[in-house]
Structure formats: structure tokens, C-alpha cells
Amino acid sequence: MIIRFKKITNATVILVLVSLIFLGAHIIKSKNNNVSGDFSNLTDKTFSFCKNATVRTGKINFDCEISRTPEGITNITIISPETIKGMKFAWLGDRQEINFDKLTNKTKENILPISSLPCAIYKVLNHASKLNGKSKITSSVDNLSYSIELHKDSDQIKKIKIPSLELIADFS
């Protein structure tokens, strides 16, 4: 019986050591990922925000407030120019709403074309929230190539670029 007990003990010790090695490797990898700016575990933090943005294109410039929840509910409210101030675009999961002055359009279909600036920003944020990246994400969705730059210190969105629309959105 003593010999049998030693075999079980040796097997148990080996199993515990192997488990500790894997656990240590996982902890080291997790620490290295967070230090390098990998936000694969921080996508809710990165893509859940309420910020002002200045959006510039070759033809149109406007300031807006963009808010997004972890569930993907996104609101874009125009701050300037004065002629369209208060116009709001909302993607609420199962429906889309557009509000301006006292007019509201609610629909379950996407009524804005992908090339419209609010829709393009929404599509990019929604797509990028499902990706992993470091200080910059480059991808495409619905034939729109885009890049997103993050602030290195906070993993918050700094800039969105959509070259085909000549769109640059600077977040403050």
C-alpha cells in the first residue's frame, strides 16, 4: 500500500505543477496584453461612451455628440451647424429613429444609406466593437474601409477615418 500511495502522490504533484505552470503563463500573458494596449478585454469600455466629435469631409463639416452603450445602442446628435442643430439619429437595436425639430421617423429598416455620414459612423463603431486591436484598428464593413485610432493612455477612441467618404471624426 505504501508504494501505491507514493505513485498517487507523485502523479498528484506532477498534475499540480503542470496546472501552476499553465496558470502562471495565463497570468503573465494577461498582464502583457494589458500593458501593450490590447483592449480585447476592454471593448465594453472602449465602445461604451458619450463624447463630442468634430466630423470633417470634403464637403460637410459638423460637430456632434456620439453616445454608445455596450449593447450597441448608438445616438448621434448634431451640435452644429445651427441649421441642423438638434437633429438626432438613433440605432436602438431593433429599430432606427431620426428626430429633427418636432418630426420623428421610426422604422425597423435602415432608411439611411451606408454612405450617409451618421450611418457610416454607426456601422464602423458597431463592427469595430467586435474586433480586437491595439492602438489602431483597421478593417472594413459593408464595403467601407476604416481605421480607428485609440488614445494610448485610456483605450478610448481618438479618431475614426473612412477614406472612401473622406471622413475624419476627431473625438474630444
Rounded to two decimals, the pTM is 0.71
- The tens digit of pLDDT for each residue in 119-133 reads 999 999 988 888 766
Lowest mean pLDDT among 6-15, 22-31, 91-100, 127-136: 22-31
pLDDT tier for residue 54 given thresholds of 50, 70 and 90 = very high
- pLDDT of residue 144 exceeding 80, the answer is yes
Whether residue 74 is found in the same domain as residue 103 = yes
Whether residue 83 is found in the same domain as residue 139 = yes
> C-alpha dihedral over 153, 159, 161, 167, to 10 degrees?
180
**Phi-psi map region of 30: left, alpha, beta (phi>0 left; psi -120 to 50 alpha):** alpha
Domain interval for residue 83: 43-171
Q: Looking at the 3D structure of the chain, how many domains does it have?
A: 2
- What's the whole-number mean pLDDT along residues 65-76? 93
Whether residue 57 is found in the same domain as residue 139 = yes
CATH number at residue 144: 2.50.20.10
Answer with the residue of higher pLDDT: 166 or 154: 166
